[in-house]
Each structure stands twice: as C-alpha cells, then as structure tokens.
Chain A
Amino acid sequence: AAGVIQSPRHLIKEKRETATLKCYPIPRHDTVYWYQQGPGQDPQFLISFYEKMQSDKGSIPDRFSAQQFSDYHSELNMSSLELGDSALYFCASSNKRAYEQYFGPGTRLTVT
C-alpha cells in the first residue's frame, strides 16, 4: 500500500540558511500534519492543513511557514535556520475514514 512520502530524507544546512521540506500524503488523504522531533524528545505538533486550508497550529516558530497545494502535497518552509532546528521532521496524513494519522519516514534536518 502507498505510504506517506517525504523528501528529502536527509538535509544539511548552515545557520541562517533556508530549507524546504516536502510531504506527499497517501492518495485520497485530505489532511496533512507536520511534527518536529528533537534529539531524544517526543514529536511535537507544528501545523496541519485540511483541504488546503490551515486547520490547526501548534508550536511552530514564526520563521517557519507551510502550505498545502491543490494536489494535497505540503511543503514546510524554514528560514533563518538555527542550530536548535536540527531535528527529525515528520509529516502525517489522514482522511475522514481513518481515525489515525499515517506517518512518513521523516526528514532529518541538520543545521551546522
């Protein structure tokens, strides 16, 4: 079965640079969620989109923005990167018939 696809899987950036993470949800899933998992920490909710509109917002820094496109894929844009942004970023998707969110493999961002 198709799963959530995230790209790139690994990304290395320097401080103050920008990064764009992409998420392709499972086909026919209309909701996308972004989570950030710092080293040794639990995943923290950043933001979600339903039918291309922002549906909920968590602890997402102002330096980050995200959107969901007409084909339901989503992008997380991160600017002025800081060392503390180094983390594993998960995307998850769901639809009305699914009670759970299906997680992608994550993008590991390293800021040097």
Chain B
Amino acid sequence: AQSVTQLGSHVSVSEGALVLLRCNYSSSVPPYLFWYVQYPNQGLQLLLKYTTGATLVKGINGFEAEFKKSETSFHLTKPSAHMSDAAEYFCAVSEGGYQKVTFGTGTKLQVIP
C-alpha cells in the first residue's frame, strides 16, 4: 500500500521568500514520487518527478525536490517565490510504471506581495 502525507493544507510566503512544501510518503516498494501543481479550475501539471538515480531533482518554474529515503520525504522547494506560484500543490506516489498514482491532500500556496 502507498500513501502520502502533506504537512500544512495552507502555506503563505512573501514574494521573494523561500518556498518549502513538505511531503512524506509510505510505500512497500521503492517509490516513484511526483509533485503536481493545479491552478484554479485547471488540470494537473507535472512539476517534477523522482524515479531512480539522483536524489535531487529539478523541475519546471525553478522548483526542485530532494528524495530522502531515510526520512521518507520528498519536500518541494523554490528559492524565491513569485506571485504566479500561487496554486495548489499535490505530492503523489506510485509504485511503478502502469501503477495508479496516490495523491496527498494538497497544499495551497499563497504568495503575499
């Protein structure tokens, strides 16, 4: 079984400040991990993914995440928040290709001017 826990349903940061969205996962096999972003009334856009190899993965829009097996974490960061980053972010886990994706409950990011 697989699951994802996102700490904090709402996060507020000032424009230009560091963004840190927390995600912990549970998986019975080596996981595939993802971060998706969803803007209001829109679909899910993949920010970045971890499958194997380098544990620090870089995604679009300046986001990156680090897979830490010992902590079962996959936190999302961005050095400097932009107003356009305001959206809902979902961490997700899959147990491999062709497997369903299990999503966390999401974190709404607010960027304050």
Contact = CB atoms under 8 A, between A and B. Distances in A.
B100 A45 contact: yes
Interface residues of A, number: 27
A7 to B, nearest CB: 14
Contacts of B90: 42-43
Interface in A87-112: 90, 92, 94, 96, 98-106, 108
A71 interface: no
Contacts of A96: 97-98
B104 to A, nearest CB: 6
Given A42-B104, A99-B51, A94 B44 contact: no
B99 A56 contact: yes
Contact of B43 (A44, A58, A90): A90
Given A42-B105, A43-B90, A99-B32, A105 B43 contact: yes
A58 to B, nearest CB: 6
Interface string B25-55: 0000000101010000111111001010000
Contact of A31 (B34, B45, B98): B98
Contacts, number: 55
A68 interface: no
Interface residues of B, number: 23
Interface in A51-90: 55-56, 58, 90
A100 B44 CA distance: 12
Interface in A7-43: 31, 33, 35, 41-43
A33 B100 contact: yes
A93 to B, nearest CB: 11
A88 to B, nearest CB: 8
Interface in B62-105: 90, 94, 97-105
22 contacts: A31-B98, A33-B101, A35-B101, A42-B104, A42-B105, A42-B106, A43-B90, A45-B100, A50-B98, A94-B97, A98-B97, A99-B51, A100-B46, A101-B101, A103-B36, A103-B43, A103-B45, A104-B43, A105-B42, A105-B43, A106-B42, A106-B43
